[in-house]
Amino acid sequence: MGGNIYPDIEGTVTFTEVPGGTEVKAEIYNLPPYSPISISYNPIGPHGFHIHEFGCCEITDPNEPFVCAGGHWNPTNQPHGNHAGDFPVLFSNDGYSYMKFFTDKFVPSDIIGRAVIIHENPDDYRTQPAGNSGKRIACGVICPVE
C-alpha cells in the first residue's frame, strides 16, 4: 500500500520457495512518474526496493513514512549492496512495474513478519547503510498465504 506521499500505490510481492532459494515476483501499480535528477532534486524512480527488519507499515511521522519498519533486513551483517533484503530497483512504465527474480539469500519462511518497502529514489548500492534511496513511499507486511 502507498503511504501519505503517494497513496494510490498498490500491488503484490510474492515469495515462492524454489530449489536453492526464492523466486520474488512484484507487480506494482500507480508508482509516481519518473523524474530525472536535477540540481535541486533527486530523481524519482527507478525505485529502491527492499525487505526491512520489522513488519510495521504505520505512518507516525508524515515526513518519514514507515520508519517503524526499521532498516534493511541484514541477517549476516553485510555492507549495503549485499544485504539479504537488497533487491534490484523497480522500473516503472506509466506507473506500472512487473519484475521477477531469483535470490539464494533466504527462503520465504525467513521473512514472514518483515516488511517490503518501495522508496522514492533509486538505490545506489554503495551508500551505507541504506543506499540513499530516499523516502519510503509504499509498504507491505510479508505474511503467509494459505
Q: What is the mean pLDDT of residues 4-22?
A: 97
User: What's the pTM?
Assistant: 0.93
82 band by pLDDT with thresholds 50, 70 and 90 = confident
Domain 1-146 has CATH 3.30.420.480: no
What average pLDDT does the structure give for the chain? 93
Torsion sign across C-alpha atoms 18, 106, 79, 45: positive
8 Å CB contact between 109 and 80 = no
8 Å CB contact between 52 and 113 = no
Determine the pLDDT at residue 131.
66
